[in-house]
A and B are shown apart, each in its own frame.
Chain A
Amino acid sequence: MTGQSMHRRELLRGLAFGGGLLLAVRFGATASADPGPLVASPEDAAFAPNAFVRIAGDGRVTVIINKAEMGQGVSTALAMIVAEDLDADWKQVGFEFAPADLVYAHPGFGIQMTGGSTSVAGMTPSLQKAGATARAMLVAAAAQKLGVPLLELTTESGSVVHAASKRRLGYGELVADAAKLAVPTDAPVKDRKDYRIVGRSTKRLDTPDKVRGKAQFGIDVTLPGMVIALVARAPVFGGKVRSFRAEKAKAIAGVRDVVQISSGVAVIADRFWAAKRARDLLEIDWDLGAGASTSSEKLRAEYAALAQKPGMVGRRDGDAPSVVEAAGSKAIEALYELPYLAHAPMETLNCTVRLTADACEIWTGTQFQTVDQGAAAAVAGLKSEQVKIHTTFLGGGFGRRANPKADFVVEAVEVAKLAHAPVKVIWTRDDDLRGGYYRPMWTSRMRATLDARGRVEAWVHTIVGQSFMAGTPFEAAFVKNGIDSLSIEGSEDTPYAIPNVQVELHTTNVVVPTLWWRSVGHSHTAFVIESFVDELAARAKADPLEFRREMLKDKPRHRAVLERAAKESGWGTPLPAGRARGIAQHFSFGSYVAIVMDASIERGRPRVHRATVAIDCGRVVNPDTVVAQMQSAVGFGLTTALYSAITLKDGRVDQSNFHDYPMLRIHEMPTVDVHILESNEPSSGVGEPGVPPIAPALGNALFALTKKPIRRLPIRSEDLA
């Protein structure tokens, strides 16, 4: 290894880990001892000064995206950040997805992953540095070539310019020389006032391929000699195969084999349809195990009973339980219930694996490369560095493709070990909806008292539900003193100024596998808190907006979004008869969002006319993406509020496809107005923070119409009568 390349490696590590707190989580995956050129350069003349950017001889800039593109626009946003500090010509910028390597680790979590709405905030320093470093080297190469002092050179839009002599060199003309230079460690990043890309609405780089059907998703991957597998999984969580008969299945033309794996029985065939028909003909004797007694109705009753008991304390200010108890029948109490939720990404899960004696290649849409890599290596009996992951586009993720257990990857590697050919495991929609890893079911009991002036004096939030992270490698990082911080997020940090606050948690143990789901714990706490605040406001005979403002006096950013959404929605002005507005706000993933929902009830069902959204997510990279994510959050949140529930009877999931796990459709989508607050704070999350306040804002509008609070999701017609 030459001194220069060693220097480069050190810089790469520095970029990836610099400035971040490394959590003590490791998954057996290690960075390759000698990663070689981290980014394969197809063009010999290409200049790749670091792991995130490559410039070709024709001036094309390729930004290496270490995050999953699942619709949130991250490939464009991250490319914009690099392009800004590189001073690139945006028309010359493209991207490709990074391989699995710890050089691409999340700066905060120490593994390569996409989640927590952290991509822009987390990657900004490294990417600015990557762009600035490349730019500095191009300028140095130009100085040598033109024989002028560095200080006389400037850059603009993909060229180095020597104004005095009116000479200009395109970046492409400089790559060969720049590649020979040492990589500087101190290249200055741009002053924000000089920005011309970041902060302006910019067309997404992935749109042209997506509208032509050319974007490659995991399910589109095809390899020579590839076979297709479908897996019959246990009908009950925790169930195991006792025995199976496959004669009928094997009689289907095109079926190659039927094999048992840890999750069930896999049918391996030449084509999807043969595998599907054969799977339907399998005769499997399942040992269902204890899970067969699980039922959501039973769980609801158990959760409601648990909620009556004191739980583990997640926050204690003052002595809220005593104040509430002393108030006796004057205390206000409500029980809120939320079901299990499936992520239901539009592209069902799938994973393609090519396994040889000393290598495992995986193609899949994943949010969790490092975890998948380590898990695949363990199953394949290989070292992590022998597992290569090709991240494709994700047809939606919402957290499902970031599984600490790497379920869909582990399963595909198990099949590959028995398939003797490259294999693509495809999940059908029923497999996807019944496959577990749901947002947990939650029950919350709220108790509060109001003082003589109608202000909240005491507030007790008792939460009942499964842990997100127990039993995963993340347990140590997230579960402290028996409390999974994700279970109570959004509640333990409620911003409202209340003298006595207590948040309690009962963590239940249920066989149903759970997982983070777009907005994680906030997906339940925001609904409960914001709905209950409206119930309290009603009791205090206060306007829901004023009631919140009063409790947010010391929270300027919360108040600003709330007031903005209210103002833009025309809060307080008359609406046509039969319509009402509901308001909610929530802080999550570093961002502040407030929503006003304008709704009515038509033929016994809610109808949403307009959603007014205000968001403060710090400095914005691509404003149009923020707008798009808020529009998406409204639709996604309304689907949840109106339709989504995974329920179980005798351990079996009731739902199987979009007819019984429905999605909002175009005729139900309201007008959405999005207002982004100007901010000079650091960038914060965008993909998730819009979701939490949607359901309570709708519930509050319906409460205003019917005077009956919405305490259960999804909203049922009987709650509106």
Chain B
Amino acid sequence: MPIDLEVNGKRVSVDVDPTTPLLWVLREDLALPGTKFGCGAAQCGACTVHVDGASARSCVLPISAVAGKRITTIEGLDGKFGAALMQAWTEQDVPQCGYCQTGQIMSAAVLLKEAAKPTDGDIDACMSGNVCRCATYVRIRSAIHRAAEIASGGGR
């Protein structure tokens, strides 16, 4: 039975095994490969997307559980926070291999929405679920601070 959901502002209907994790529907059926597979077990955050505005690990979320929900992926991340994060990430050259970075940015976007000026403690709490094997953490932290500044009008 087809499952309807909204992905990046578009209504889509997918007819797949209902136990399929959202991650693989995004990647294989909806041609949105920016959301990554890292562990398949909610351990690394590479697959982070927004479901109705909240962070979710799409690798463990069956597609049946998101029927009717609003999904945002990196490809659809826009608005004030998305733009600020991408600008800050680019200014500071955060990515190395880059594989974890879309998940990092998706997690950081939720953080900025909740805390306009996040503290280091806020960053630790929100971002510790996102692994970066290249250990770009120093720059992730400083880019989040910078993005907060940009989003609050401090950008150039």
- Interface residues of chain A, those whose CB is within 8 Å of chain B, are 69-73, 203-204, 206-217, 219-220, 222, 228, 253-254, 271-274, 277, 344-348, 393-398, 426, 428-429, 624, 628, 631-636, 638-639, 657-659, 663-667, 669, 671-672
- Find out whether the CB atom of B131 lies under 8 angstroms from the CB atom of A71: no
Q: How far is the CB of A452 from chain B (nearest CB, A)?
A: 45
Q: Report the Cα distance A293→B142, complex, angstroms.
A: 49
- Find out whether the CB atom of A253 lies under 8 angstroms from the CB atom of B37: no
* B38: interface (CB < 8 Å): yes
Q: Of A72, A217, A219, A428, which is within 8 A of B40 by CB?
A: A428
The secondary-structure label for the interface of chain B is loop
- Find out whether the CB atom of B28 lies under 8 angstroms from the CB atom of A271: yes
From B46, B131, B141, name the one whose CB has the most chain A CB atoms within 10 angstroms: B131
With CB as the reference atom, state the residue of chain A lying closest to B21. A273
Q: Of A203, A215, A631, A658, which is within 8 A of B138 by CB?
A: A631
Q: Of A70, A211, A397, which is within 8 A of B86 by CB?
A: A211
Residues of chain A within 8 A (CB-CB) of B73 are 213
Residues of chain B within 8 A (CB-CB) of A274 are 17
Q: Known contacts A211-B101, A273-B21: does B134 contact A71 (CB below 8 Å)?
A: yes
- Find out whether the CB atom of B17 lies under 8 angstroms from the CB atom of A273: yes
B95-152 contacts to A, CB under 8 A, are 95-102, 105, 123-125, 127-141
- Find out whether the CB atom of A429 lies under 8 angstroms from the CB atom of B136: no
- Find out whether the CB atom of B39 lies under 8 angstroms from the CB atom of A429: yes
Q: Of A73, A272, A631, A667, which is within 8 A of B128 by CB?
A: A667
* B75: interface (CB < 8 Å): yes
Residues of chain A within 8 A (CB-CB) of B89 are 207, 211
- Find out whether the CB atom of A71 lies under 8 angstroms from the CB atom of B98: yes
Q: How far is the CB of A68 from chain B (nearest CB, A)?
A: 10
With CB as the reference atom, state the residue of chain B lying closest to A634. B135
Q: Report the Cα distance A397→B73, complex, angstroms.
A: 26
Q: Report the Cα distance A542→B90, complex, angstroms.
A: 46
- Find out whether the CB atom of A396 lies under 8 angstroms from the CB atom of B134: yes
Q: Report the Cα distance A71→B29, complex, angstroms.
A: 28
Q: Known contacts A222-B31, A273-B17, A628-B93: does B138 contact A669 (CB below 8 Å)?
A: yes
Q: Report the Cα distance A429→B34, complex, angstroms.
A: 18
With CB as the reference atom, state the residue of chain B lying closest to A629. B96
Q: How far is the CB of A117 from chain B (nearest CB, A)?
A: 15
Q: Of A273, A667, A671, which is within 8 A of B124 by CB?
A: A667
Q: Report the Cα distance A207→B102, complex, angstroms.
A: 11
Q: How far is the CB of B18 from chain A (nearest CB, A)?
A: 10
Residues of chain B within 8 A (CB-CB) of A667 are 124-125, 128
Q: How far is the CB of B21 from chain A (nearest CB, A)?
A: 7
- Find out whether the CB atom of A206 lies under 8 angstroms from the CB atom of B98: yes
- Find out whether the CB atom of B39 lies under 8 angstroms from the CB atom of A658: yes
- Find out whether the CB atom of A664 lies under 8 angstroms from the CB atom of B135: yes
Q: How far is the CB of A618 from chain B (nearest CB, A)?
A: 21
Residues of chain B within 8 A (CB-CB) of A658 are 39, 41, 43-44, 131
Q: Known contacts A344-B133, A429-B39: does B138 contact A217 (CB below 8 Å)?
A: no
Residues of chain A within 8 A (CB-CB) of B140 are 666
B41-70 contacts to A, CB under 8 A, are 41, 43-44, 46
Q: Report the Cα distance A254→B34, complex, angstroms.
A: 24
- Find out whether the CB atom of A203 lies under 8 angstroms from the CB atom of B93: yes
Q: How far is the CB of A30 from chain B (nearest CB, A)?
A: 31
With CB as the reference atom, state the residue of chain B lying closest to A344. B133
Q: Report the Cα distance A634→B135, complex, angstroms.
A: 8
Q: Known contacts A212-B34, A429-B41, A666-B140: does B98 contact A636 (CB below 8 Å)?
A: no
- Find out whether the CB atom of B100 lies under 8 angstroms from the CB atom of A666: no
From A274, A631, A634, A671, name the one whose CB has the most chain B CB atoms within 10 angstroms: A631
- Find out whether the CB atom of B16 lies under 8 angstroms from the CB atom of A271: yes
Known A-B contacts: A658-B131, A671-B138. Give 7 more (CB < 8 A).
A211-B98, A222-B33, A228-B28, A347-B36, A628-B139, A665-B129, A666-B132
With CB as the reference atom, state the residue of chain B lying closest to A428. B40
Q: How far is the CB of A260 from chain B (nearest CB, A)?
A: 25
Q: Report the Cα distance A215→B98, complex, angstroms.
A: 8
Q: Known contacts A206-B95, A666-B140: does B34 contact A213 (CB below 8 Å)?
A: yes
Q: How far is the CB of A697 from chain B (nearest CB, A)?
A: 16
- Find out whether the CB atom of B40 lies under 8 angstroms from the CB atom of A429: yes
Selected A-B contacts with CB under 8 Å, 16 pairs: A204-B93, A210-B98, A211-B86, A219-B36, A277-B19, A346-B46, A346-B97, A347-B99, A429-B38, A631-B136, A659-B43, A663-B44, A663-B131, A663-B132, A666-B137, A669-B135
Residues of chain A within 8 A (CB-CB) of B43 are 429, 657-659
- Find out whether the CB atom of B39 lies under 8 angstroms from the CB atom of A207: no
Q: How far is the CB of A271 from chain B (nearest CB, A)?
A: 5
Residues of chain A within 8 A (CB-CB) of B136 are 628, 631-632, 635
With CB as the reference atom, state the residue of chain A lying closest to B86. A211
Residues of chain A within 8 A (CB-CB) of B74 are 212-213
Residues of chain B within 8 A (CB-CB) of A657 are 39-41, 43
Q: Of A220, A426, A634, which is within 8 A of B33 by CB?
A: A220
- Find out whether the CB atom of B96 lies under 8 angstroms from the CB atom of A71: yes
Residues of chain A within 8 A (CB-CB) of B38 are 346-348, 429
Residues of chain A within 8 A (CB-CB) of B46 are 346
Residues of chain A within 8 A (CB-CB) of B39 are 429, 657-658
- Find out whether the CB atom of A212 lies under 8 angstroms from the CB atom of B86: yes
- Find out whether the CB atom of A272 lies under 8 angstroms from the CB atom of B28: yes
Q: How far is the CB of B16 from chain A (nearest CB, A)?
A: 7
Residues of chain A within 8 A (CB-CB) of B75 are 212-213
Q: How far is the CB of A376 from chain B (nearest CB, A)?
A: 24
Residues of chain A within 8 A (CB-CB) of B19 are 273, 277
- Find out whether the CB atom of A395 lies under 8 angstroms from the CB atom of B127: no
From B29, B40, B73, name the one whose CB has the most chain A CB atoms within 10 angstroms: B40
Q: Report the Cα distance A635→B136, complex, angstroms.
A: 8
Q: Report the Cα distance A253→B40, complex, angstroms.
A: 21
From A71, A216, A657, name the one whose CB has the most chain B CB atoms within 10 angstroms: A71
- Find out whether the CB atom of B24 lies under 8 angstroms from the CB atom of A396: no
The 10 closest A-B pairs by CB, nearest first: A213-B34, A635-B135, A395-B99, A71-B96, A210-B98, A71-B97, A667-B124, A213-B74, A669-B137, A658-B43
- Find out whether the CB atom of A395 lies under 8 angstroms from the CB atom of B97: yes
Q: How far is the CB of B4 from chain A (nearest CB, A)?
A: 19
- Find out whether the CB atom of A345 lies under 8 angstroms from the CB atom of B97: yes
From A211, A272, A396, A663, name the one whose CB has the most chain B CB atoms within 10 angstroms: A211
Q: Report the Cα distance A346→B75, complex, angstroms.
A: 20
Q: Known contacts A211-B89, A657-B43, A666-B127: does B97 contact A394 (CB below 8 Å)?
A: yes
Q: How far is the CB of B10 from chain A (nearest CB, A)?
A: 16
Q: Report the Cα distance A294→B74, complex, angstroms.
A: 44
Residues of chain B within 8 A (CB-CB) of A273 are 16-17, 19-21, 24
From B21, B40, B96, name the one whose CB has the most chain A CB atoms within 10 angstroms: B96
Residues of chain A within 8 A (CB-CB) of B125 are 667
With CB as the reference atom, state the residue of chain B lying closest to A214. B34
Q: Report the Cα distance A72→B93, complex, angstroms.
A: 12
Q: Of B20, B29, B90, B96, which is within 8 A of A628 by CB?
A: B96
Q: Of B85, B105, B132, B139, which is within 8 A of A346 by CB?
A: B132
